[in-house]
Structure 1
C-alpha cells in the first residue's frame, strides 16, 4: 500500500468504542443502584447512613467511568487494527474524548438525572451561584431576597391620611372621579421603585443616589421627604441583613462550584490516562513473519 493511501485512523472503531463505553457505564451504574438499594433497610437495622451512601456512590461512579473508558478504548484500538503504539494510544484517547462529549451533550439536554455524577453536580452549583449572585444587587421585584418584598411594599405604603383624603374627594366628584381616586390610592409601583431604592441603599451610594431613593419613596407613598428618609433608614437594616445572607449563599455556591470543577478535572485526567493505557493494551500485536526453509 502506498504511503499516501495509508489510513492511520478508524472512525468506525472509535464510534464503536465510544458506544461500548457508554453502554458499559450504564450497565455498571444500574448495578451500583441495585447494590445500593439492596443495602437499604427501611427499619434502619444496620442500614448505612446518607454520608456513607454518598461516599460509596461517588467512588462507584468514578470506578464505573474508568472501567467503561478502559473497555471502550481497548475495543477501539483492537478494531482499528494498527499495531503501532502511537495509533493504539490515539485511538483510545479519541474514543474517550468522543464518549465524554456525548455525556456532556446528554447532561445539557435534560437527561442529567440518568447519568448524574460529577458533571451534574457542577451544573446545579452554577445555577445556585447565579441565583445567589443576582440577590446581591436586585434590580427587579422578582429578584428581591426572600421575605424582603413585603418590607419593600410597606416602604411605599401610603399613609392613612392620604387615603382618607382621596376617598372624600371621590365622594364629592362622582363615580368617575372615584375610580380615578381608587387608582391613585392603589398598589405602589414597586417594580419601578426598586432600582432607585437599591441604588440608594448600596454601600457606596452617593448623596444624589440616596436622595433619589428618598424622592421615589416620597412620591410613591405620598409622604414628606422627612418621613420618606425615616422609612428608608428603617428599611436599611433589613436590606443589609438580607444582602449579607445572599453574600454567604453566593460564597457557599462558589466554593461548591470550585470543588466540583477540580473534581471534574481530576476525573477527566484519570479518564484520559486510562483511555491511553486501554489503547496501548488493545492494539493488535505485530505479526512476526516466518521464513520457510
Structure 2
C-alpha cells in the first residue's frame, strides 16, 4: 500500500498567490490622499513663488491680468494632474493590487477623498468664501444700482419742463411723503396759487404714479401738466407738449438703463457658466490622472 509523504506545505497548485485579503485598502487610500495633498501644496507654493518673481513694477514688465490668469489656470491644472497621479500610484502600489480594476478603484477613491477634503478646507474658510460671494453679489448689485441711478436722474427732466430746479426736485423726491406733508398741508389745490416750493413738491409727489403708468399715471400726468401750465403761464396744450417730451426722455433713459443692467447680468451669467464647465473638465482630468497613476502601479501576478 502506497503512502503519501507530506513535508507540511500545501501543493503549489493549491496556493492562491497574489490576491489581497480585501479589494479596497483604506490605509493605502489614506496614504495616497496624503501624498496628493502634499504634492499639490508644494507645487502650489512653487507656482506662487514663480508668479511673484514675474512681478516687476519698477521695470514695468509685469504680465497682464488676462495672461497671468490663464497661466495660473494652466499651472494649477498641471499640478493637479501630477499630484493626483502620484497619489493614485502610491495608493495602488501600497495596496499591492493585481487587478487593473481594483487599481482603478483605488485611484478614483483617492481622487474623491482629495476632492471632498479640498472642498471641506475651502468651505471652512467662512470669511474668505463669504467675502468672495458678497463681492460677486456686490458687483451685480452695483450694476443694478447704476441702472436705478440712471432712472432717478431722469426725474429732473420732467421737472425742468415746469421751470424749476432739478436739484430741488431730487431732494424732494428722497422723502416725498414728508416733503409733500410739509408743503401741501395748507397748499391750495389750484396750481396757479401754488408757490414754487409747493409746485416742486407736487411734481415730486406725482412722479411715482407717472412712472407706474395706467389710469393712475394718466391722472398724474394731467396734474403735472396743470402745474407746468400754471407755473410757466402758458397754455395747457403747450404744457402738455413739454411734459410729453420730458416723459419720452424719461422712458428712454429708463429703458436704456434696464437694457444695460440686463446685458451686464447676461455677461456675468455666461462667465459663471463657462467657469463651471472648465472646472468640471479639470475635475474629470484629475480623476483620469488618478486612475492612470493607479493602474500603472498594478503588480503582475506571480506564477
Task: Report matched runs for 1:33-52 at 5 Å.
Answer: 33-44=48-59, 46-52=61-67
Q: Tell whether the 8 Å contact from 2:81 to 2:286 is kept in structure 1 after alignment.
A: yes
Unaligned runs of 5+ in 2: 1-15, 165-171, 173-178, 188-197, 227-239
* The one of 269, 276, 279 aligned to 1:254: 269
TM-score by length of structure 1 reads: 0.62
Q: Tell whether the 8 Å contact from 1:88 to 1:280 is kept in structure 2 after alignment.
A: yes
Unaligned runs of 5+ in 1: 115-119, 136-142, 172-181, 201-209
* The one of 12, 19, 33 aligned to 1:18: 33
Shift of 1:217: 5.8
* The one of 55, 58, 62 aligned to 2:70: 55
Aligned-partner Cα distance in 2 for 1:19–1:12: 11
Is the partner of 1:147 in helix, strand or coil? helix
Shift of 1:277: 0.6
Is the partner of 2:55 in helix, strand or coil? coil
Aligned-partner Cα distance in 1 for 2:64–2:300: 52
Considering only aligned residues, what root-mean-square deviation do their CA atoms show, in Å?
4.8
Q: Tell whether the 8 Å contact from 2:151 to 2:253 is kept in structure 1 after alignment.
A: no
Aligned-partner Cα distance in 2 for 1:76–1:112: 34
2:282 maps to 267
Shift of 1:7: 2.2
2:258 maps to 243
Task: Report matched runs for 1:228-239 at 5 Å.
Answer: 232-239=247-254
Aligned-partner Cα distance in 2 for 1:65–1:101: 14
Shift of 1:234: 3.3
1:140 maps to none
Larger radius of gyration: 2
Shift of 1:52: 3.7
Is the partner of 2:36 in helix, strand or coil? helix
TM-score by length of structure 2 reads: 0.61
Is the partner of 1:8 in helix, strand or coil? coil
* The one of 271, 293, 298 aligned to 1:278: 293
Shift of 1:67: 0.8
Is the partner of 2:147 in helix, strand or coil? coil
Query: Greater CA deviation, 64-73 or 78-87?
Result: 78-87
Change (3 A) 1:245 1:36: same
1:138 maps to none
Aligned-partner Cα distance in 1 for 2:141–2:158: 26
Shift of 1:214: 1.5
